[in-house]
């Protein structure tokens, strides 16, 4: 659904100011938007997944391990598709709290695309380079939104999501490096225009939500604190927006309508979007391995 049509529907959860901020700046942060009853359940479910990761010796399709992970000291960077590994996550993704937020920025009919749980363990080794998301999962329009929920809250030293204000109005950058690898990062020499004042990295208590548009340039620093930073990231779109490439993060839930009704017509925004590799054949693997490969390539040139 295109922005003008979305805005013709009244917002249910966001104030008009918050909704205006989302469409003007490409994101909006909502301190403590998700109630403690939910963050408590998500915290307990996260603990169960972390327990399971003790059996895991190297990163796989479910767990992205953080440096120093072992059976006695589990350290995780990410859990892929948490909704397929613990029912609390799917229930939350379909909940009124989440789908009403999504509906305010994608329109009344809401479709699920994929989710990930970025735990970013304490004293972690990785941030996330500046990038835009939509090139990894292009859709027929630019309605997709990622809703990030800080399950335990997030402070400045924990590597919060950082957004470049208004960058969704600008161009889509290439996510490929010089060697043709999909690096999930914008080449640093393309970002020389960036100044500190253009960046916002909102923090907040448990239940703080960040709604992030799919064209917005964002990234994050590594977690320098001694606390993990669990951030659940859920991607939704308008029901009439269709992904036209395989998803990098597969799930049997992909494409499920979680609010309202399925579409009868597709919505199109003809601004071009770079295509990712064929994830169905190549597999996505780890975005951090991709970014490291691109860094090494540019350092060694």
Residues near ligand AKG (CB under 6 A) are 118, 120, 128, 133, 159, 161, 218, 220, 231, 233
Q: In angstroms, give the least distance from the CB of 27 to ligand AKG.
A: 11
CA atoms of 142 and 4, how far apart (whole Å): 12
Distances 238 to 43, 56, 142 between C-alpha atoms, Å:
28, 36, 9
* Cβ closest to ligand AKG, residue 38 vs residue 137: 137
Q: In angstroms, give the least distance from the CB of 265 to ligand AKG.
A: 30
Q: In angstroms, give the least distance from the CB of 53 to ligand AKG.
A: 17
- In the numeric block, which tokens belong to residue 79? 């859990």
* Cβ closest to ligand AKG, residue 177 vs residue 240: 177
* Cβ closest to ligand AKG, residue 11 vs residue 232: 232
* Cβ closest to ligand AKG, residue 111 vs residue 131: 131
Evaluate whether 205 touches 64 at the Cβ level (below 8 Å): no
**Nearest-CB residue for ligand AKG:** 220
Residue 163 has a CB neighbour count (10 Å cut-off) of: 26
Distances 126 to 67, 177, 212, 288 between C-alpha atoms, Å:
9, 19, 21, 8
CA atoms of 59 and 251, how far apart (whole Å): 18
Q: In angstroms, give the least distance from the CB of 8 to ligand AKG.
A: 29
Distances 239 to 14, 97, 248 between C-alpha atoms, Å:
20, 18, 19
* Cβ closest to ligand AKG, residue 74 vs residue 124: 124
Name the DSSP letter for residue 182: B
- In the numeric block, which tokens belong to residue 293? 């490969």
* Cβ closest to ligand AKG, residue 108 vs residue 287: 287
Q: In angstroms, give the least distance from the CB of 218 to ligand AKG.
A: 5
Q: Are strands 63-65 and 208-213 parallel, antiparallel or unpaired?
A: unpaired
* Cβ closest to ligand AKG, residue 108 vs residue 153: 153
Three-state DSSP class for residue 226 = coil
Q: In angstroms, give the least distance from the CB of 48 to ligand AKG.
A: 20
Evaluate whether 26 touches 33 at the Cβ level (below 8 Å): no
CA atoms of 187 and 174, how far apart (whole Å): 8
Q: In angstroms, give the least distance from the CB of 159 to ligand AKG.
A: 5
Evaluate whether 164 touches 252 at the Cβ level (below 8 Å): no
């Amino acid at each position: 659904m295109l922005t003008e049509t979305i805005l013709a529907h009244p917002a249910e959860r966001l104030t008009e100011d918050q909704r205006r901020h989302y469409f003007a700046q490409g994101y909006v942060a909502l301190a403590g938007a998700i109630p403690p009853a939910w963050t408590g359940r998500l915290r307990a479910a996260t603990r169960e997944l972390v327990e399971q990761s003790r059996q895991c010796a190297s990163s796989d399709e479910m767990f992205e391990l953080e440096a120093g992970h072992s059976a006695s000291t589990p350290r995780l960077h990410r859990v892929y598709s948490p909704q397929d590994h613990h029912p609390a996550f799917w229930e939350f993704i379909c909940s009124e709290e989440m789908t009403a937020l999504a509906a305010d920025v994608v329109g009344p009919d809401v479709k699920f695309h994929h989710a990930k749980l970025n735990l970013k363990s304490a004293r972690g080794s990785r941030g996330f380079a500046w990038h835009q998301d939509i090139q990894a999962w292009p859709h027929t329009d630019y309605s997709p939104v990622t809703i990030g929920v800080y399950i335990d809250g997030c402070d400045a030293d924990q590597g919060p999501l950082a957004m470049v204000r208004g960058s969704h109005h600008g161009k889509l950058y290439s996510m490929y490096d010089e060697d043709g690898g999909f690096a999930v990062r914008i080449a640093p020499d393309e970002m020389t225009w960036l100044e500190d004042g253009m960046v916002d990295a909102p923090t907040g208590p448990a239940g703080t939500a960040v709604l992030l548009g799919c064209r917005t340039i964002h990234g994050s620093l590594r977690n320098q604190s001694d606390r993990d930073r669990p951030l659940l990231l859920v991607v939704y779109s308008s029901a009439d927006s269709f992904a036209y490439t395989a998803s990098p993060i597969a799930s049997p839930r992909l494409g499920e309508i979680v609010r309202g009704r399925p579409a009868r017509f597709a919505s199109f925004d003809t601004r071009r979007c770079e295509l990712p590799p064929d994830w169905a054949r190549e597999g996505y693997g780890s975005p951090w391995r991709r970014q490291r490969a691109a860094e090494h390539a540019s350092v060694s040139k």
